[in-house]
Amino acid sequence: MDFDLVVRNGTVVTASDIWESCDIGVKDGTIVAVGPGLPAAPGAQEIDAEGAFITPGGVDAHVHLSQFYEATVGVDIDRSIITNGIVPDPENFVGDTFDTGTRSAIAGGTTTIITFASQMKKDESIIAVIEDYHKLAKDQSYCDYAFHVIITNPTPQIVEDEFPRMVDEYGITSVKLYMTYKPLKLLDYQILDVMYSARKLGITTMVHAENADVIDWMTQHLEQKLMTHPYHHGTSRPPIVEAEATNRVICLAELMDTPILLVHISGGPATKHIRDAQTRLLPIYGETCPQYMFLLADSMRKGDFEGAKCICSPPIREDKSDQDAIWAGVKNGTFTIVSSDHAPRKFNHPNGKQRGLKDGNLPYGKFRLVPNGLPGVETRVPLLFSGGVLSERISPQKFVEVTSTNPAKLYGLKKKGSIAPGFDADLVIWYSQTKFQPFKLTNEMLHHAVDYTPFEGIEFKNWPRYTIIRGKVVFSHGEVVGELNYGHYIRREQGLLPGPRDIWLSEWRP
């Protein structure tokens, strides 16, 4: 047979099956054969998997690159200063851009990211935003990539005229909206405007569900009591703050008969609302992230200010019971996907200050001023594999389902997310378990552009030995060997998971 690449002797895992002693034949970047003892292909590259697991390349559906996290602390920001990848003011932008973010992705077994084209200024056209992000990404990506659009001002012009263009001209079939962060959040009225148009166009709406007013009120009153240490970021928004907004937006989605995905769910109470909605057969989907599975709020207690490294929203939770509920939700299918929510920002800034620590602050700084978000695009897949599969908390198939197959299906990435003929040859070949020496993670091992990882010191029982994208090895034995312009932009189709049901709560019809 005519192959360009044959991977031999792997334990091949899909979301449904495991095949031992299995080979994979690749031609023109596509998987063309999967099975034992594929014939020799003279001239083809051969890789011996040494019996190790081979899993589909990770699909990370929640990654922020070239985005200003200052918006999360109420600062109005001007995205135009990073247009064309130029960052004139490093003090104002110290996160990952497309080059460093995607380098980090492939070094951790992720072969496709869906990142955000983000409407920041209230008057900007989302078409202009999409064009700008295309410029930022062009020839600057080691892995394949697609976009969601973050919508912060759904004017009639945008939802009626620009949403259809976003789908038809750019192949973007999902939007994210915020119920929190002052410069970004939508009112319920505006959420209905987005859902109304999204339903007509087959768009999946992603929602960051937290109650903004409760967070503001709590933050004010904590500051009056001088409770401003990074740890109190969590105090200001206990799980019920996420649960209330989750329930509210599920109600809006039911009213509008439209599918939504609740992003980065952190607590047990919100998980229960999603589970209950699913039991009622509503098209409600859930996402969680490794930080809620592997960390607890103690990580925000460290030092005077070091805990700021672990400030994200929703916060990492205090109670083990929340973490247990998140794991249960991954196992029982409440969470359709596990994404990283990679939103990194350096802790030590070039100007000598630390993340959000401003002159004249109280000794512990103010959690209110710390940009929200953590790095995690490189650690997501290895954490779930080592701390999930190899720690016998989830099956290999469940790992593949939540890290690759489901994100591809949910967001209409037709050729991604499985190992079968016709799919892109995006593969992770792990180390043979007998040959792997477990190690404790340090930030120096990672390939992002930030100076810390919240997962420092966690033990890993395996790591991707090879990452392969469309038949090409891009990461091998700890080294990035791919090229910066190899990643393709992927136009997406409508999501493949169930959508509207045409069941209504009143006589009103769209």
Q: Give the binding site for ligand URP (CB under 6 A).
A: 64, 72, 208, 264, 312-313, 341, 343, 372-373
By C-beta, is 276 or 451 nearer to ligand URP?
451
Positions in the binding site for Zn ion (CB under 5 A): 208, 341
> Which of Zn ion, ligand URP, none binds 110 (CB below 5-8 Å, type-dependent)?
none
Q: How far apart are CA 366 and CA 395, in angstroms?
A: 42
Q: Closest approach of Cβ 419 to ligand URP, in Å? A: 30
How many Cβ atoms sit within 10 Å of the Cβ of residue 294? 20
Q: How far apart are CA 25 and CA 140, in angstroms?
A: 29
Q: Closest approach of Cβ 341 to ligand URP, in Å? A: 5
Q: Closest approach of Cβ 230 to Zn ion, in Å? A: 19
> Which of ligand URP, Zn ion, none binds 453 (CB below 5-8 Å, type-dependent)?
none
How many Cβ atoms sit within 10 Å of the Cβ of residue 113? 33
> Which of ligand URP, Zn ion, none binds 72 (CB below 5-8 Å, type-dependent)?
ligand URP
Q: Closest approach of Cβ 289 to Zn ion, in Å? A: 9
> Which of Zn ion, ligand URP, none binds 312 (CB below 5-8 Å, type-dependent)?
ligand URP
Please name which of 19, 133, 112 lies closest in space to residue 409, comparing C-alpha atoms. 112
By C-beta, is 313 or 418 nearer to ligand URP?
313
By C-beta, is 38 or 312 nearer to ligand URP?
312
> Which of Zn ion, ligand URP, none binds 55 (CB below 5-8 Å, type-dependent)?
none
By C-beta, is 25 or 238 nearer to ligand URP?
238
Q: Which residue has the tokens 């690749």?
A: 26
Q: Closest approach of Cβ 469 to ligand URP, in Å? A: 25
> Which of Zn ion, ligand URP, none binds 372 (CB below 5-8 Å, type-dependent)?
ligand URP
| Phi, psi of 443, deg, nearest 5 | -60, -30
Q: What are the structure tokens assigned to 441, written together?
A: 């993670």
Residues in the chain: 510
By C-beta, is 208 or 368 nearer to Zn ion?
208
For residue 35, what is the enclosing H or E element?
A: strand 30-35
Q: How far apart are CA 121 and CA 115, in angstroms?
A: 18
By C-beta, is 208 or 237 nearer to Zn ion?
208
Residue 438 in contact with residue 427, Cβ under 8 Å? no
> Which of Zn ion, ligand URP, none binds 162 (CB below 5-8 Å, type-dependent)?
none
| Residue 40: partners with Cβ closer than 8 Å, 6 or more residues away | none
Q: Closest approach of Cβ 372 to ligand URP, in Å? A: 3
By C-beta, is 34 or 94 nearer to ligand URP?
94
Return the CA Rg of the chain: 22
Q: What are the structure tokens assigned to 416, written together?
A: 């991604």
By C-beta, is 64 or 398 nearer to ligand URP?
64
Residue 382 in contact with residue 53, Cβ under 8 Å? no
Q: Give the residue at shortest CB distance from Zn ion.
A: 208
Residue 260 in contact with residue 249, Cβ under 8 Å? yes
Residue 144 in contact with residue 112, Cβ under 8 Å? yes
* Sign, CA torsion 117/344/240/217: negative
Q: Closest approach of Cβ 479 to Zn ion, in Å? A: 5
> Which of Zn ion, ligand URP, none binds 111 (CB below 5-8 Å, type-dependent)?
none
Q: Closest approach of Cβ 57 to ligand URP, in Å? A: 23
Q: Which residue has the tokens 């495991």?
A: 18
